[in-house]
Amino acid sequence: MKLPPIPLEKISTLTFLLRVVVPPEYQDENRHMNVRGYMAIFDDAGYPLVAGFGITPEYHAAHGTGGFDLEHHLHYVSEVNIGDTVAVYSRLNARSAKRVHYMMFMVNETRGALSATFECVNSFADLTLRRTAPYPPDIAARIDAQLERDTALDWALPVCGIMSA
């Protein structure tokens, strides 16, 4: 799948989540960032994403809840090297009662290029039952507010086409 060109100016208007200088331990035998590094950075960026909805570790601890990633699609666009600074931005695509479908964009600020996209379907979970569960109304309202802003943008998300909330 070839991504349509997305100007960095459009990506930089999305919700900023995280900025990282790629550490040496993320290097692979090809001397660039290994897949584990991409996954670690996108995983770390997921925490500020859901914190924006009010879902923090403290919230989960107080309510016996958690989150489950159900599907991922990682698309490599351009190489990331050790020592490069990358920033991650997010955009929501859809929501159901229990799930949110979103994308993250990794921008290599050192090289001025989109480096990767990460598409995910994540669910809210009741950890006492170990099952997905509906978002509480206050959380759902925050997700819906962000979803309204994101779906009003003038460019289509480059989703893989097989995931849905």
Residues 44-68 have pLDDT tens digits of 999 999 999 999 999 999 999 999 9
CATH code at 13-151: 3.10.129.10
Q: Are β-strands 131-132 and 99-108 bridged in parallel, bridged antiparallel, or unpaired?
A: unpaired
| Rounded Cα gap, residues 22 and 98, in angstroms | 33
In the chain, what are the domain boundaries?
A: 13-151
Q: What's the pLDDT tens digit per position in 14-30?
A: 999 999 999 999 999 98
pLDDT at 36: 95
Q: Answer whether 77's CB lies under 8 Å from 114's CB.
A: yes
pLDDT at 5: 85
